[in-house]
Amino acid sequence: MLLVTANVANEDDVKNYVDKTVEIFATIDGFFNNAGIEGKQNLTEDFGSDEFRKVLDINLNGVFYGMKYVLKVMKEKGSGHIVNTASVGGIRGVGNQSGYAASKHGVVGLTHNSAIEYGQFGITINAIAPGAIMTPMVEGSLKQIGGEDGWEEVGKAFVEPNPMKRFGKPEEVGYLTAFLLSDQAGFINAAVVPIDGGQSYKY
Ligand SMILES: NC(=O)c1ccc[n+]([C@@H]2O[C@H](COP(=O)([O-])OP(=O)(O)OC[C@H]3O[C@@H](n4cnc5c(N)ncnc54)[C@H](O)[C@@H]3O)[C@@H](O)[C@H]2O)c1
């Protein structure tokens, strides 16, 4: 087991975690490119430019750096699986999330582009598009709206339009990711898989 901490917005940090991994394990079979932030919620005209850059740096540049260094290793080996974390906000407009939406739509674009390039080298690259999954990120987001006292009520109202009327669970995202990182999913490439209880298909 190896733990390397990194700020994914820093290319040198990303190169370092890939180098350290290869030093210890010789190669990389699977890569979950998952780090991300939501950023502050605001109308586009009020969305701070610094905030926009920060969200893009982490959510989009970080994913690009990760693929850039990991793909080199996987190409040498002639196999590998990558899962990038996009979001429903990467396939639909959600509102009040300029930076997040731009970054996650970017992750979807990067996924499609690189998957087309690297399929010939035995590498699959897919993205997942989670809806609202109950993690610290969503708790923080609900607190931006409802405050410390009201966020749970806001959460209940938030999941009301979901066909399954609940938040997703982190482990449900884990099972999907583990499958996409396995050889059983070997012919799934360039897919963007929603995991949102069906909400993104609802009119
Ligand atoms: N929770 C949801 O509803 C939801 C929905 C759609 C997509 N996502 C995406 O799923 C991923 C995980 O989110 P989560 O809900 O578990 O959020 P979270 O805030 O609980 O976890 C995010 C993780 O990313 C790490 N991180 C943040 N900035 C980083 C940086 N600069 N360098 C390295 N690591 C950094 C944090 O340390 C944390 O471990 C994110 O990409 C997020 O956008 C989450």
The predicted model gives 97-111 an average pLDDT of: 98
Mutational test site, ligand 1, from 33, 37, 65, max ligand atoms within 8 Å of CB: 37
How far away, in angstroms, is 27 Cα from ligand 1 center? Answer: 25
pLDDT for the residue 72:
98
Taking CA atoms only, the protein residue closest to ligand 1 atom 34 is 35
Q: Which residue has the higher pLDDT, 83 or 41?
A: 83
**Whether residue 158 has pLDDT greater than 90:** yes
The predicted model gives 64-79 an average pLDDT of: 98
Angle at 152 between CA 149 and CA 158, to 5 degrees: 130
Share of the chain above pLDDT 90, in %: 98
Confidence bin at 165 (pLDDT 50/70/90)? very high
pLDDT for the residue 144:
87
The predicted model gives 52-79 an average pLDDT of: 98
| Least trusted range by pLDDT, from 11-25, 55-69, 72-86, 136-150 | 136-150
Span 89-102, pLDDT tens digits: 999 999 999 999 99
Cα–Cα distance measured from residue 21 to residue 148, given in angstroms and rounded to the nearest whole number: 40
Nearest CA to 65 among 9, 123, 116? Answer: 9
CATH class of 11-131+169-195: alpha beta
Please give the helix or strand (H or E) that residue 151 lies within, else none. Answer: helix 136-159
Q: Measure the N-to-C terminal CA separation of the chain; round to a whole number of Å.
A: 46
pLDDT for the residue 142:
93
**What ligand 1 atom has the least distance to the C-alpha of 86?**
7
Domain chopping of the chain, boundaries: 11-131+169-195, 134-167
Q: Residue 133 in 3-state DSSP?
A: strand
Question: Interhelix angle for 62-77 vs 11-25, to 10°?
Answer: 30
Ligand 1 interacting residues, C-beta cut-off 6 A: 6-9, 34-37, 58, 85, 87, 130, 132-133, 135-138
Question: Interhelix angle for 98-118 vs 49-56, to 10°?
Answer: 30
**What ligand 1 atom has the least distance to the C-alpha of 134?**
1
Span 45-59, pLDDT tens digits: 999 999 999 999 999
**What ligand 1 atom has the least distance to the C-alpha of 35?**
24
Q: Residue 29 in 3-state DSSP?
A: coil
Cα–Cα distance measured from residue 190 to residue 112, given in angstroms and rounded to the nearest whole number: 5
Q: Write out the catalytic residue numbers.
A: 100
pLDDT for the residue 87:
98
Taking CA atoms only, the protein residue closest to ligand 1 atom 19 is 137
The predicted model gives 119-143 an average pLDDT of: 96
Is-contact 142 153, C-beta < 8 A? Answer: no
How far away, in angstroms, is 120 Cα from ligand 1 center? Answer: 30
pLDDT for the residue 95:
95
Question: Alpha-carbon dihedral of residues 9, 37, 195, 113, nearest 10 degrees?
Answer: -30
pTM comes to 0.97
How far away, in angstroms, is 196 Cα from ligand 1 center? Answer: 16
